[in-house]
Amino acid sequence: MYHNSNGRITSKHHFTNYNMAPLMQILLKALIGLICVRINILVSASFPYYGTKIGALTRLHHGVSGDVYAVDSRTLFIKNFNYDGEAPAAYFYVGSTAKPSNDGAQRLRDERGGVTALNRRYRNKDITLPLPDGKTLRDFKWFSVWCDEFAVNFGHVSIPGDLDFPRPQKIASLKGVHAVSSDNIVIVDAQTLLIPNFSYDGEAPDAKFWVGRGHRPSPQGLRIPDENGKEIPLRRYDRKTIVLTLPDDLTIFDIGHFGVWCEAFTVDFGHVRIPEGLNVPPSLKMLGISPQVKKHAHA
């Protein structure tokens, strides 16, 4: 389709609003409306999400800057991290004192898992840093880029004691027709759902995992791939725990419900509401991290 000189929509067959029958106009408008709704559900949240923002690094030395987020209880994410790489012994540190110092400080591995000094330049780099084993953000009061050799703080952010960091959230359980049931669903992160002990009798012709806006399922929703990444009709499940991933850039913040839906007959087999404003971690994909694939050793 294209717009002609009069601004009306035409096609290569030269149908226009002047000669289109009223019924055809109504059908076309309805079709366009359905397409727009289906496209709308695919639009992700209008804001990027990296977790709970802790604050910006103070800009003290060597060009250090960036915004620090809590991904979960034991992971930090720095958006647009900058550092000139010219100091002799700079490291990422966290500490339990009131302000950065050598006392009570613990060195972090860098974003590559390395333990050597930060001898390279960072320019608006997004990085993810895990805390030391067995530690959480509750154990620390600050994060800093710290020079060991001269005991100098290049830039830091304070970690509030009452920081409400993201964590997986339990919601309601599924219960419906065709023996659909589950235990309480867990929103693992902004794109991942854990369905414990999921059951479904497998006897409907076109049942799919389904999400959409609003509190109740409708034909304007979106099918979700099963635990194997397929969008085929669901088979029988008998108290199986499964993990589902929302496709593309769709997040939990874009939907109001999740359930099992018969696409052929537009029947709700059971659904749960997704509460608004869930404080869950961002997914690895949202942080720009590709999940690692285990390599199998050859015999």
Is 30 part of a structural domain of the chain?
A: no
Decide if pLDDT at 1 tops 60: no
Q: 7-16, 40-49, 111-120, 125-134: which has the minimum mean pLDDT?
A: 7-16
Q: What is the pLDDT of residue 29?
A: 52
Q: Length of the chain, please?
A: 299
Query: How does pLDDT run across 232-247, given as a tens digit for each residue?
Result: 999 999 999 999 999 9
Alpha-carbon Rg of the chain, whole angstroms? 25
Is 5 part of a structural domain of the chain?
A: no
Q: Do both 150 and 122 map to the same domain?
A: yes
Q: Do both 141 and 197 map to the same domain?
A: no
Which domain covers residue 70, as residue numbers?
52-158
Q: Do both 141 and 216 map to the same domain?
A: no
Is 134 part of a structural domain of the chain?
A: yes
Query: How does pLDDT run across 266-284, given as a tens digit for each residue?
Result: 999 999 999 999 999 999 9
- Identity of residue 106: Q
Query: How does pLDDT run across 212-268, given as a tens digit for each residue?
Result: 999 999 999 999 999 999 999 999 999 999 999 999 999 999 999 999 999 999 999
Is 40 part of a structural domain of the chain?
A: no
Give the integer Cα–Cα distance in Å for 92 and 100.
Answer: 11
Q: How many domains does the chain divide into?
A: 2
Helix or strand run (H / E) with residue 42: helix 22-42
Task: Classify residue 295 by burial, with Cβ atoms within 10 Å: 0-12, 13-18, 19+.
Answer: exposed
Helix or strand run (H / E) with residue 95: strand 90-95
Backbone angles phi, psi at 16, to 5 degrees: -130, 175
Q: Do both 125 and 217 map to the same domain?
A: no
Q: Do both 125 and 204 map to the same domain?
A: no
Q: Could you say which of 120, 135, 158 is where a domain stops?
A: 158
Is 10 part of a structural domain of the chain?
A: no
pLDDT, averaged across the chain: 87
Query: How does pLDDT run across 164-181, given as a tens digit for each residue?
Result: 999 999 999 999 999 999
- For residue 281, give the 3-state DSSP assignment: coil
Q: What is the pLDDT of residue 290?
A: 73
Give the integer Cα–Cα distance in Å for 91 and 33.
Answer: 55
Is 18 part of a structural domain of the chain?
A: no
Is 150 part of a structural domain of the chain?
A: yes
Give the integer Cα–Cα distance in Å for 101 and 115.
Answer: 19
List, as one string, the DSSP characters of 104-151: TEEEEP-TTS--S---S-EEEEEEEEEPPTT--GGG-SEEEEEETTTT
Q: Could you say which of 114, 137, 158 is where a domain stops?
A: 158
Q: Do both 150 and 213 map to the same domain?
A: no
